[in-house]
Amino acid sequence: AAVTPAAATAAAAAAAATTAEAGQLGGGHCAAMDQYSGQSHDLPKESFIVTTSLSPSGDDKPQLAKVIRKKKTAPKHLPALRPNNWTSGYLADQALISSMESSKDSAYVPTAETQRRSSEDEEDEEQQDIDDRAKTDVLLTLDQHSCSRKTSARLKRRYKFNVWLACRLATWVLIFALPLVGYPVGNRIRRWSKRGAKYMSGYGLALSNFCWLFGPSLGLSVRYAVESLCGQLLALANIMFINWAFTKYLTGGAYSTRIEMVDLAGGTDPIWQSSWLPLCNLGNGPRFVTTNTTADFMKQCGFNIHWESVEVESFKTVVVLVNLTVFVFCLLWAGFGLCPRLYGLCYLLYWTMLFVNPIEDGFTTSPSIPWIQSIMTGIGGCLIIFAHIFPFPNTALSKADARCAELLESFSVLFEAMPFAAEEDVNLKMQSTLEAAQVQVADFAEELQGAWWEDMEFGARSCKRRKLRAMLELMKQLRNNIAISVGVAQGLSTKESHQVRRCVPSVHVLCSCAASAIRAEVEGEGVNQSLFDMGEATADLQREFTQSRDSLSPRVLVFLLVVNSVTSNIYNAIKYSASNSYRNSLGLCGWLSKLSEHMELQQTRSNPAHMRFVARSTVVIMLAFIFGWIGLERAINAYQSESATTISIVVANSTGVGFSLGLILKRLNSAVIGIVIGQAVGQVLAVQTEFHATLFSLFLWLFSATCIFLILHSKDYAAITHPVFAIGVAGLVPAGGIFREYNASVSAEANDTLASTVKAAVFGGILMLLADSIFSTSARQLAQARVTVALGRCWALVSRRVDHGCQDALSFLTPGQSSRIFIPDSAMPSLADLMADIDELQRLVPEAVTEPAKGIHFPVALFEQLVASLQSIFLQLETLDLVFSDQHQSFKSLFEDAPEAEHTLRYLGVVLHKRLSDGAVLLSDLFDRNFHRDVADPLDESDSGAARLREEILAKTYAGRPISPSPKAKGRRTSIARAATVIAVSTKSAGLRLKHLCSCCKHRKGHAQMAVPLSPTKGNHNLEEEFQQLLHELRALGCHERGELPKSDRLSQVELIVYLLEKIDSHMQIMNSAIAEQG
């Protein structure tokens, strides 16, 4: 403010009287500014700058307007003044304050500059009030979408839905069991004809199919029904081929050529001997051959086969076993999911055992048992679909639509909060909302997976599903890129945050318009107005960015670029969604490809342990089938398929990875519990009285509702409860599908069947356990191979973006190390391949922890850290693809007009390659030592491998280690180093250690070399300094060309590249440190 010298002199006398007031204003410390004398006085702590403004009464007289608090420096609009001593400065302060308050009659003429500053201050205060109110609203809205609230709401919603669906499906189970519970109806159907009796005998199978095939929605139930029907039809085709293909040679099975024998154990009933494979006994008492000594028994009846009776007719046994082996191997190799494997294996094993059983007639009469059971399976599948349709549909598409609306609402809130992301409280809330969004995206994807089976690419519903699929892909990208935006904003200072709102306020408007467009998409309203508003906001952003781009900090440029890219992506996606009809354009081949994709055939076959799993499972199933065929004397009856069926249930639910002791015991327990519960309760309650029928109905409903709820509510309980439910319901139904009469006793045959079934299931579990302990695939080894492949793919992806090259993904390993690792097709990996590796690692780590192995415990913390770092690198690479997807495919193409950038980018790739190569060397060495620790020998000068590298990292000297060549090579490069530091990189020898690259590649003949000159400086730079120097050179290259929008601005793009490369390099160092600490 302009103060006359006379007024200042008069005010000096009143300095002492205003000391207290000045102390209140400045807290005892102030930096007085005297424009008349041109002096300022700096205090050691905080500075307080006194300014004046016009009186609000309009009398144009000065008053004390405010005290602006600022540390160290004054605002830019006040001139820098010379310091003076404390006493004179303090008196001048008091004089100035006193003059402004007491001399009301003195003349005061405000200048134009003072009025302008006053107006700016008022506008700043108003804008600050608006920002504060907006921030408060944003915090309240984010709190409604926080992770804790969303998780709580999700659990409550799922709990209520699971209870409701369990009661609904249990009611339908009871309705479908009415022909059993209403025993007069069942008796009439059974007496109606032979075919009716066969259908009632298979009624328990239909109910069991209903229990196996139900899902949480109509779509998943349709999938299970279709897959089970495919598996059973394959088994039916195979058994019918055996029965009919060889004309009369195998037609009718062993029943058609059986031989009547006399029971030598004293039984009065006739027994039947098979001419295909003559046995010595049936295991449960009846005997065909008697022996007096053990040696005589072993000579005549080894493996319970009467070898003296074996004739040419027994070749039929070989035909049946070869056919069964080939079918089991092909079915498992094809990579079918749970239902095809379960139904294909279980039914084929049961039908094949029936085919070789001379006691039962299953193939000579029409319809045969396989046909009847296939029909009952189809009926069970239709019943479960019917249960999801009535009384009202329970579709996956409707739930996916609800999840989509919920997700879009969360993302609209995140966009509203984006301008305030630099504030710490807002940033924390946004991170919490992003965590909730990640869970919502997973639920959305699961519902869409089931929704495909509801339309199968046909009808109008498929158009809506394709639109939701496009929205899902958009939301996956949005979630990752908003996370990057939040991370960038977290590093913004308060000054930079205010700079964003002051220089480019249209960012707030653009984010609000994007949120409005998302809400319009959710509510199904027209999005044209929202898109128009986004276009207007983008134009304002272009104008404001052009005016202020030179004054924006690097972090602000990165933040604006990411926000501009995300909003542009939303604009294009919503515009495309509004104009696209999403009609089906697939042909027959395309539809079959989609069907294979949704049955997950390719994903299963791509597992590196798949072939071992197939071979192991085939051998175990065939052994169980053979032992079930011949039986064990006094232990297991002959012609029993329960052992092989138990193994088939374990195989169908197995992933083929790891030592499955826990899985086998769980399946074995569930099978035994289901058999015991079902048959025991059935013997008690399956009685032809109204009282017993009522109790049977009540138990069936409660048992079904409880099991269905546990299966839906917990995946851990589902692995045990599902077999208990299906096997138990099948055991509840008595033989023949008819309740016994009230006074009839339980037959001894039923008890014998129950005991034999339990023993056979236990024997199958023991056989599976023995085979799995010998031929199991180690989850440890698979996790080690997968993490190594993931590192290689990281390098390939980074290399392709940095210098548009894609070296061998595992070039940093020696031939001996890489030969021990299964490497899928990784010549040109994609981000989806890297994400698949990360998902597979997350699945393998828990299995590797529980399996028994030699050496120390599996290092869970190390692998969790590696997975977290790989996920972060994936996030950075995906953000690069978002920004450069429609402009450049690599950094090299971004600098096409700057030839000098090629060397910088090439050497930048070398530095990043070194990070990963060091990590791969450490990791491979750690795997070779089975996770044991190792210490470098300080006296061994030849030790320059993993041990010495580990010691350097642990000693915190890794970042300071020079990347110069070895001492022996320094003499060869003296002349080159004087002119420029040159590092020769061989494209075919990229796996060599970086410090040996120059010396080795220089003398390697026949290899193309490329020189990467660095700025000539004295001495050798360490790796961190070289990396920062390269980033500085990139920044210099970005200043040559500026754009009108952040997305087209070269400097903004370069700053984003620098930011993401720093992040990638940081996570690489974290991985190396974690590996070194473990070793």
Residues in the chain: 1079
What distance in Å separates the CA atoms of residue 630 and residue 628, rounded to the nearest whole number? 6
Question: Which pLDDT belongs to residue 89?
Answer: 46
What are 47's strand-pairing partners? 70
Neighbours of 45 (CB within 10 A): 9
In the chain, the amino acid numbered 245 is A
Residue 203, CA atoms < 13 Å, CB-side half-sphere: 27
| pLDDT value at 674 more than 50 | yes
pLDDT tier at 603 (50, 70, 90 boundaries)?
Answer: low
Which carries the bigger pLDDT value, residue 27 or residue 1038? 1038
- Rounded mean pLDDT of 989-995? 30
Question: Which pLDDT belongs to residue 71?
Answer: 36
Contacts of 187 (CB under 8 A, 6+ apart): 738
Question: In Å, how far are 125, 209, 228, 652 from 649, measured between CA atoms?
Answer: 71, 14, 13, 5
| pLDDT value at 661 more than 90 | no
pLDDT tier at 708 (50, 70, 90 boundaries)?
Answer: very high
What distance in Å separates the CA atoms of residue 132 and residue 477, rounded to the nearest whole number? 30
Question: Which pLDDT belongs to residue 1050?
Answer: 83
Listing DSSP states for 49-80 in one string gives: EEEEEE-TTSS--EEEEEEEEESSS--TTSPP
| pLDDT value at 977 more than 50 | no
- Rounded mean pLDDT of 352-380? 87
**519 within 8 A of 408, measured Cβ to Cβ:** yes
| pLDDT value at 287 more than 60 | yes
* Assigned token pair, 700: 């069936």
**320 within 8 A of 356, measured Cβ to Cβ:** yes
In the chain, the amino acid numbered 885 is S
| pLDDT value at 566 more than 90 | no
pLDDT tier at 657 (50, 70, 90 boundaries)?
Answer: low
Question: Which pLDDT belongs to residue 939?
Answer: 52
| pLDDT value at 944 more than 60 | no
| pLDDT value at 161 more than 90 | yes
Which stretch, 6-15, 585-594, 604-613, has highest mean pLDDT?
A: 585-594
Which stretch, 105-114, 432-441, 481-490, 843-852, has highest mean pLDDT?
A: 432-441
Grouping H, G, I as helix, E, B as strand and the rest as coil, residue 135 is helix
Contacts of the segment 796-801: beta carbons below 8 A, 24+ positions apart: 796/826, 796/828, 796/829, 797/829, 797/830, 797/831, 797/834, 797/877, 798/873, 798/877, 798/909, 798/912, 798/916, 798/1064, 799/909, 799/912, 799/913, 800/890, 801/877, 801/880, 801/889, 801/890, 801/891
- Rounded mean pLDDT of 974-998? 29
Mean pLDDT is lowest, of 82-96, 287-301, 372-386, for 82-96
**What percent of the chain lies above the pLDDT cut of 70?**
75
Residue from 510, 504, 489, 573 nearest 543 by CA: 504
Residue 754, CA atoms < 13 Å, CB-side half-sphere: 22
* Assigned token pair, 247: 């004309």
- Rounded mean pLDDT of 66-81? 37
What distance in Å separates the CA atoms of residue 405 and residue 467, rounded to the nearest whole number? 13
Q: Which pairing describes strands 981-986 and 1009-1014: parallel, antiparallel, or unpaired? A: antiparallel
Question: Which pLDDT belongs to residue 956?
Answer: 64
| pLDDT value at 225 more than 90 | yes
What distance in Å separates the CA atoms of residue 885 and residue 410, rounded to the nearest whole number? 26
Neighbours of 718 (CB within 10 A): 15
Question: Which pLDDT belongs to residue 169?
Answer: 94
End-to-end CA distance of the chain: 69
- Rounded mean pLDDT of 534-563? 90
- Rounded mean pLDDT of 641-666? 75
- Rounded mean pLDDT of 532-542? 91
Question: Which pLDDT belongs to residue 827?
Answer: 52
- Rounded mean pLDDT of 966-992? 30
Grouping H, G, I as helix, E, B as strand and the rest as coil, residue 319 is helix
Mean pLDDT is lowest, of 459-473, 519-533, 546-560, for 519-533
Question: Which pLDDT belongs to residue 151?
Answer: 92
pLDDT digits 0-9 by tens, 229-254 = 999 999 999 999 998 877 778 888 99
Question: Which pLDDT belongs to residue 235?
Answer: 94
What b/e sequence results for 669-689 when a residue is b if at least 16 CB atoms lie within 10 Å of its CB, and e otherwise? Answer: ebbbbbbbbbbebbbebbbbe
| pLDDT value at 992 more than 70 | no
What are 981's strand-pairing partners? 1014
DSSP 246: T
* Assigned token pair, 479: 């979630």
| pLDDT value at 498 more than 50 | yes
**What percent of the chain lies above the pLDDT cut of 90?**
22
pLDDT digits 0-9 by tens, 96-138 = 555 555 544 444 456 777 766 777 677 777 777 877 888 899 9
Question: Which pLDDT belongs to residue 819?
Answer: 43
Question: Which pLDDT belongs to residue 966?
Answer: 33
| pLDDT value at 971 more than 60 | no
DSSP 450: H
Mean pLDDT is lowest, of 49-63, 724-738, 764-778, 848-862, for 49-63
pLDDT digits 0-9 by tens, 379-438 = 888 989 999 998 889 999 999 999 998 998 999 899 889 888 888 899 999 999 999 999
pLDDT tier at 1001 (50, 70, 90 boundaries)?
Answer: very low
Listing DSSP states for 255-306 in one string gives: GGG-EEE--TTS-SS-EEE-SSS-BSB-SSS-BS---SSHHHHHHH-GGGB-
| pLDDT value at 281 more than 90 | no
**850 within 8 A of 859, measured Cβ to Cβ:** no
What are 50's strand-pairing partners? 67
Which helix or strand (DSSP H or E) is residue 652 part of?
Answer: helix 642-652
Tell me how many degrees the CA angle 926-929-935 measures, rounded to the nearest 5. 75
**433 within 8 A of 147, measured Cβ to Cβ:** yes
| pLDDT value at 961 more than 80 | no
- Rounded mean pLDDT of 17-45? 39
SS3 assignment for 804-852: CCCCCCCCCCCHHHHCCCCCCCCCCCCHHHHHHHHHHHHHHHHHHHHCC
Contacts of 734 (CB under 8 A, 6+ apart): 682, 683, 686, 740
DSSP 636: B
| pLDDT value at 141 more than 60 | yes
What are 1014's strand-pairing partners? 981
**203 within 8 A of 376, measured Cβ to Cβ:** yes
* Assigned token pair, 505: 């306020």
* Assigned token pair, 693: 């029928």
What distance in Å separates the CA atoms of residue 654 and residue 768, rounded to the nearest whole number? 12
Question: Which pLDDT belongs to residue 454?
Answer: 93
| pLDDT value at 814 more than 70 | no
What distance in Å separates the CA atoms of residue 327 and residue 319, rounded to the nearest whole number? 12
| pLDDT value at 659 more than 90 | no
Q: What is the residue-averaged pLDDT of the chain?
A: 76
| pLDDT value at 997 more than 70 | no
DSSP 1018: S
Question: Which pLDDT belongs to residue 21?
Answer: 42
Question: Which pLDDT belongs to residue 891?
Answer: 62
| pLDDT value at 326 more than 90 | yes
* Cα dihedral sign, 949-950-951-954: positive
Question: Which pLDDT belongs to residue 604?
Answer: 67
- Rounded mean pLDDT of 1004-1015? 32
Question: Which pLDDT belongs to residue 6?
Answer: 45
- Rounded mean pLDDT of 545-568? 88
Question: Which pLDDT belongs to residue 602?
Answer: 66
